[in-house]
Chains A and B, each alone.
Chain A
Amino acid sequence: MAYTTFNRQINDQMKEPMFFGNPVNVSRYDQQKYGIFEKLIEKQLSFFWRPEEVDVSKDRIDYQNLPPHEKHIFISNLKYQTLLDSVQGRSPNVAFLPIVSLPELETWIETWAFSETIHSRSYTHIVRNISSEPHKVFDDIMLNEKILQRADDVTRYYDDLIDGINLYQRCGEGTHTINGQNHSISLYELKRRLYLCVMSVNVLEAIRFYVSFACSFAFAERELMEGNAKIIRLIARDEALHLTGTQHMLNIMAAGEDDADMANIAKECEEEAYAIFRKAAEQEKDWAEYLFKDGSMIGLNKDILCQYVEYITNSRMQAIGLKPIFSTTQNPIPWINTWLVSDNVQVAPQEAEISSYLVGQIDNEVDGADFGDFDL
């Protein structure tokens, strides 16, 4: 029950559930209960990039020439993304690592969160370049009401889970009096909090980032802020992978073979899952309104962006077996897909990087047919 960094209990890791079994002891990858997490780790490692590899120097001139309402759009999105990645860079580790029971999933969580810290660092890289007073941009994140409104919903499910885990791992199930106050916790309640937390993370990565992405690419379509767009493409590539990770976790939970309680919880929480999606979509639409309060930008306005929010919300819901809640069926900005294709991402000018690129990678698969045109 209490967490230990190296569990002495000899266990068969292949029989552990994803969460709330034995804490992981040996980090071994020779066997995996869920091979998908091992594959996600390898893919994420092959995606590794550093913000400094992307030249953003031309963006400085572009930014200075933007009209004030477009500066507002650009910088506000950057602030919001900074908030989201501040949360994502630490929270999966703090919330999930104390309760995870599979080595491949544990390492996936760490790899995932680490890549979010790269995103955070890239925002500093961008802001330093376009502003002579970067501290003002970052200081405002903690003061900006529109951003703080979102922070609450982004963090609430993480905080509830972390709070419950602390109590459970210290005192166990039951009602406990701490500093004169009563606190109750059960394992089932913790599992419920875990499910809702993963659901909320799924929404964060599936919907919340995409309003900013759309704006960044709309600038780049006009050949403005292209360094920024290059970075956003790398971030979007990572986020698509993280999203696949959380979708797998949710689907494994709902199937119930891993942990029978989780299947019940998934059913019980269905209405709440719909509510999380609906609220996030509404908040993102509000955000679109705030972005365009002083004027739209070429190629994008509040209505189009709201339709896009509805469109991706529907598609993300269907991916985890929920029914779409909006009537929008067409992507109102199909040009965004071209920006999101990972193989077009180029980091350094001399290196048109393909996403499966690995340093020193050797293709070991040899098929008999490969020798077909050999003559001796």
Chain B
Amino acid sequence: MYRVKVGNNTVVEFDDSAANLLQALERHQLQVNFQCREGYCGACRCKLNSGEIRYLHEPLAFVRQGEFLPCCSIPLTNIDIEIP
């Protein structure tokens, strides 16, 4: 289980019950923009301030450095993220 720090005062725990980070964030009622949910549209782009994630499959959308797509990734460590 990993801790996902969202912004300044929210912490979401990620365990095996969530298929990906987007799902975990949504279960905590956090509003993340989304569209395709499989990595090709890039609508769910978030900032990754620290920690590491792993893509379940390589996304087609363009992802800038310091950003990641929660719809097709899971954390590898505790992470600190920002939802735009």
**Residues of A participating in the B interface, judged by any CB pair closer than 8 Å:** 36, 39-40, 43, 236-237, 240-241, 243-244, 247-248, 251, 315, 318-319, 321, 329-331, 334, 337, 340-343, 355-356
- In this complex, the interface size class of chain B, counting residues with CB under 8 Å from chain A, is 10 to 19
- Contact call A315/B36, Cβ cutoff below 8 A: no
Q: Which chain A residues lie closer than 8 Å to B60 at the CB level?
A: 36, 39-40, 43, 241, 244
- Compute how far the CA of A43 lies from the CA of B58 in the bound complex, rounded to whole angstroms: 13
> What 12 additional pairs, Cβ within 8 angstroms, besides A244-B61, A341-B37?
A36-B60, A43-B40, A241-B41, A241-B60, A243-B41, A244-B60, A318-B45, A318-B84, A329-B84, A342-B35, A342-B37, A356-B38
A101–B73 Cα distance when bound, in Å, is: 34
User: A315 contacts B43, CB within 8 Å?
Assistant: yes
Cβ-closest 4 pairs across A and B: A240-B41, A340-B35, A247-B62, A342-B36
Query: Are A321 and B64 within 8 A (Cβ)?
Result: yes
Asked whether, in the complex, the Cβ of B34 is within 8 Å of the Cβ of A341, the reply is: yes
B48 to chain A, nearest CB (A): 15
Nearest chain-B residue to A356 (Cβ)? Answer: B38
Check B61–A247 contact: CB distance below 8 A: yes
Inside 8 A of B43's CB, which chain A residues have their CB? 240, 315, 337, 340
Q: What is the CA–CA distance of A112 and B72 in the complex, to the nearest angstrom?
A: 24
Q: Is the CB of A331 within 8 A of B31?
A: yes
Selected from A248, A330, A337, A356, the residue in CB contact (under 8 A) with B35 is A337
- Report which B residues bind A (CB closer than 8 A): 31, 33-38, 40-43, 45, 60-62, 64, 84
Chain B residues with Cβ below 8 Å from A40 are: 60
Q: How far is the CB of B44 from chain A (nearest CB, A)?
A: 9
Choice from B33, B37, B41, B61 contacting A343 with Cβ under 8 Å: B37
CA distance A343 to B22 in the complex (A): 15
A48-B73 Cα distance, complex, nearest whole Å: 26
Contact of A315 among B31, B62, B64, B84 (CB under 8 A): B84
Please, which residues of chain A bring their CB within 8 A of the CB of B35? 236, 240, 337, 340-342
CB neighbours of A329 from chain B (8 A): 84
Assuming the contacts A241-B40, A334-B31, asked whether A251 and B62 have C-beta atoms less than 8 A apart, the reply is: yes
Q: Which residues of B contact A321 (CB under 8 A)?
A: 64
Taking a contact as CB atoms under 8 Å apart, the answer to whether A240 and B62 are in contact is: no
A240 to B62, CA, bound (A): 12
Query: Could you tell me if B34 and A337 are in contact, using CB atoms closer than 8 angstroms?
Result: yes
Q: In this complex, what residue of A is CB-closest to B44?
A: A337
Q: List 11 A-B contacts (CB under 8 A).
A: A43-B60, A244-B40, A244-B41, A244-B61, A247-B62, A315-B33, A319-B42, A321-B64, A341-B34, A342-B35, A343-B38
Residues of B close to A243: CB separation below 8 A: 41
Residue among A40, A244, A315, A334 having the largest count of chain B Cβ atoms under 10 Å: A244
Q: Which interface residue of B31, B34, B41, B61 has the most chain A CB atoms within 10 A?
A: B41
Chain A nearest CB, measured from B31 CB (Å): 6
A319 touches B40 (CB 8 A): no
B37 to chain A: which residues have CB within 8 Å? 341-343
Nearest A residue to B64, CB-CB: A321
A244 to B36 alpha-carbon distance, docked (Å): 12
